[in-house]
Amino acid sequence: MNANDLLQLQQPVTDGAIRSVNFFNGRLLAAKDLAREQDARDTADARLGLALGEGVAWGLDVVRDTSVSGATGAVVRIAAGLAVNRAGQTLYLAQDTSVALQRQFDGGTDASCTCTFTNCTPLVGGTYVAGAGLYLLTLAPSATTEGRAASNGLDPLNVRCAIDVNVEAVQFRLLQLDAQLLAGLDLGAATLRNDIAYRAFGQGIQPAWFASLFDAPPRADDLLEALRKTRLGDAEVPLALLSFKGTSTLDFIDAWAVRRPLHQSGTDAFSGLAQSRRLAVGHAMFMQFQRQVADLASPRVLPASATAQGLCRYLPPVGIIPIAEETGGTDQQALAFFAGMTVRGPAFINAARLEGLVRESLAYPPIDTQSGEFVWLYRVRENREAIDFAGSSGSLPRSYVVFSSGQMPYRADARYDGAYWNYANYALAR
């Protein structure tokens, strides 16, 4: 390159620019011109999507649907919502939708669509009939057509018709996780749900990732990135992991193992320390645990046999568990879930500190339940007070305990004019 090839200040940069068709009276229009204009619009929209980042903007929660009668196989209910895929394309589901996980008839794609005005990007393989195993449910773009429109022919006695509108729709896809992706996992273990979730969260959340920070790879959702090399396309947004015990027995739905809020990914290890992706994964870790606890807690508390070590190899850095009411102030119910682990507490904190504790935890590594490292336990004063002073006719709120990683700062120090004598932790002078 010589000096004459250098870009000058205020000189237009046209590489990658959006080119919009200039319409004027008398111009001869063809389908190609309209397609170019639509491509320009789609490119502008996609760039806004890329600026927001990939993930789920809102909605799109996946739950079991037991209200459908006569269905063959499992059915899930997916809430209305909006997502952005890796290509910057928005995917919108207008209303809550029930989806059969075994396809019994053709999905309705119009084979006659020639994609005159759209980019046709085929998606790689899907699963039409679910069997035992683990599957990824995704939201993907789809295209179909509606209506017929008369064309302007030269012969008024021979009026021809063509497709009226092309519809940019969405579809749901089911991708099976093959044995290679699940290598090293015990599919019969009680900890499977937790194990597969933390494989999806990736090695970047573990302290070992920092051992060689200058040579560390960018953080990624390891399970999903491995699947992207084969069947998961950049046009798809993961919604949930589904575990089947048979063709019709849905064992569990774990949305937050693979669902992420909108985020930007770092291109190297150091940018990943400050990019929004790590907070998005921290959010997912917290919600994944809370949803698993909610699935287990029936009707109000966890089963007596449920323990952290029995259900989870890893816990999020902060979590909240419902517990049965205590008798005699022994904290037995609060400690039962953490049997075999080293804990400190439970100690009282004010509710004003809880949300800050959760938000701070989003950048911390998970708790290894087998490591022996201690865990802080907290009770929220306002929750305990509401139970203690509810009276015989009052409705008791659910009792709960908050845990946090021992790597996080202790939050239960009492403060003058801020703590309450019976609901605080302090040292008495001799």
Two tokens, residue 164:
């009226």
Mean pLDDT within 174-181? 91
Q: What is the pLDDT of residue 151?
A: 75
Alpha carbons 178 and 15: distance in angstroms, whole number: 41
Q: What is the pLDDT of residue 428?
A: 60
Bridge-based pairing state of the strands 133-150 and 400-405: unpaired
| pTM above threshold 0.75 | yes
Q: What is the pLDDT of residue 122?
A: 59
Does residue 342 surpass a pLDDT of 90?
yes
Alpha carbons 340 and 319: distance in angstroms, whole number: 18
Q: Which range is most confident: 56-60, 107-111, 208-212?
A: 56-60
Contact in structure between 205 and 281 (CB atoms under 8 Å): yes
48-93 pLDDT, tens digit each: 998 999 999 999 999 999 888 666 778 999 999 999 999 999 999 9
Q: What is the pLDDT of residue 116?
A: 35
402-423 pLDDT, tens digit each: 999 999 999 998 887 777 777 8
Q: Which range is most confident: 82-91, 137-146, 297-306?
A: 82-91
Q: What is the pLDDT of residue 102?
A: 78
What's at 321, amino acid-wise?
I
Does residue 248 surpass a pLDDT of 60?
yes
List of domains in the chain: 34-106+121-141+173-254 (2.60.520), 297-423 (no CATH)
